[in-house]
């Protein structure tokens, strides 16, 4: 799919994507809590130093936030947690799936796991589709590796317990175990700033279509009107 209108894209990236990639609501609360604890000039200086030390995101972080916003808007996916809060070093790339959340409503809620690749590569398909770190291999791992599933289920349980998402977790987990670990939704997202081309996904899509057994895998390519090199500046510009 393609977002061809530059103005529409800027509204999207400066709005929903900005909120997701900066975790703006959480960060605002964090800042207010720290400022409330600063009772001396020295303490206030320390807080200002902490708040100014945050590193801006990089393009793949903006890409992951964009993919989550697109999946939420287009397919009703939802996320109990922002993974930015799990990083223990600035700009660390966390292991596991890029996307971890839920999809569906009521009794149909299931786990949604996915991988995101951002590429300006002029080749079709781009290089990020192949190799051990490519989208195709990562989706195969998500499809069949039970140890990866176990890690993701523990991750989600820890973040959903005692929250508004706990009921969703229990419904999705029930579907998962009742199906022998098959009733989940997997998604691969390719984000591009190139001209749309069906060969970007054709080969991998045909290979995925050859798997008759669940889980279901969705493969999407989204084409944006602004260069990837501009995304960070657009997504983090003062609001």
State yes or no: pLDDT of 126 exceeds 90. yes
Position 54 in a domain: yes
Structural domains in the chain (count): 1
| Averaged pLDDT score across all residues of the chain | 89
Phi/psi at 104 (nearest 5 deg)? 105, 170
- Residue recorded with tokens 């599933």: 149
Position 1 in a domain: no
Distances (CA, A) of 89 to 55, 109, 190, 203: 10, 33, 26, 37
Instruction: Give the residue-averaged pLDDT of 155-159.
Output: 95
| Dist. CA 96–CA 83, nearest whole Å | 11
Per-residue pLDDT, 136: 86
Position 78 in a domain: yes
| Dist. CA 91–CA 7, nearest whole Å | 29
Instruction: Convert 102-171 into a string of H (helix), E (strand) and C (coil).
Output: EECCHHHCEEEEEEEEEECCCCCCCHHHCCCCCHHHHHHHHHHCHHHHHHHHHHHHHHHCCCCCHHHHHH
DSSP code, position 211: -
The residue among 214 and 151 whose pLDDT is bigger is 151
Position 208 in a domain: yes
Position 112 in a domain: yes
Per-residue pLDDT, 88: 66
Q: Are 159 and 107 in contact (CB under 8 A)?
A: no
Six token digits for residue 30: 């964090």
State yes or no: pLDDT of 63 exceeds 90. yes
Q: Are 58 and 138 in contact (CB under 8 A)?
A: no
Instruction: Give the residue-averaged pLDDT of 92-114.
Output: 88
Per-residue pLDDT, 209: 66
State yes or no: pLDDT of 28 exceeds 80. yes
Cβ-Cβ contacts under 8 Å for 56 (sequence gap 6 or more)? 232, 236
pLDDT digits (tens, 9 = 90+) for 134-149: 898 898 889 889 999 9
- With both helix axes pointing from N to C terminus, report the angle between 146-160 and 135-144 in degrees, rounded to the nearest 10: 80
Domain that holds residue 92: 6-236
């Amino acid at each position: 799919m393609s977002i061809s209108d530059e103005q529409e894209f800027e509204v999207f990236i400066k709005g929903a994507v900005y909120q997701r990639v900066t975790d703006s609501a959480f960060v605002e609360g964090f800042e207010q809590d720290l400022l409330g604890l600063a009772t001396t000039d020295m303490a206030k200086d320390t807080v200002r130093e902490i708040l100014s030390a945050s590193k801006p995101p990089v393009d793949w972080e903006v890409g992951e936030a964009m993919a989550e916003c697109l999946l939420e808007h287009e397919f009703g996916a939802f996320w109990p947690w922002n993974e930015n809060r799990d990083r223990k070093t600035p700009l660390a790339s966390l292991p596991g799936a890029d996307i971890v959340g839920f999809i569906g409503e009521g009794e149909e809620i299931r786990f949604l796991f996915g991988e995101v690749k951002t590429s300006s590569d002029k080749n079709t398909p781009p290089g990020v589709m192949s190799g051990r770190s490519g989208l195709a291999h990562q989706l195969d791992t998500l499809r069949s590796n039970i140890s990866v599933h176990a890690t993701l289920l523990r991750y989600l349980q820890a973040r959903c317990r005692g929250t508004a998402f706990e009921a969703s977790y229990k419904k999705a987990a029930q579907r998962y175990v009742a199906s022998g670990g098959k009733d989940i939704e997997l998604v691969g997202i390719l984000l591009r700033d190139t001209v749309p081309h069906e060969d970007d996904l054709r080969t991998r899509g045909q290979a995925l279509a050859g798997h008759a057994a669940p889980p279901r895998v969705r493969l999407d390519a989204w084409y944006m009107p602004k260069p990837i090199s501009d995304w960070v500046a657009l997504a983090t510009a003062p609001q």
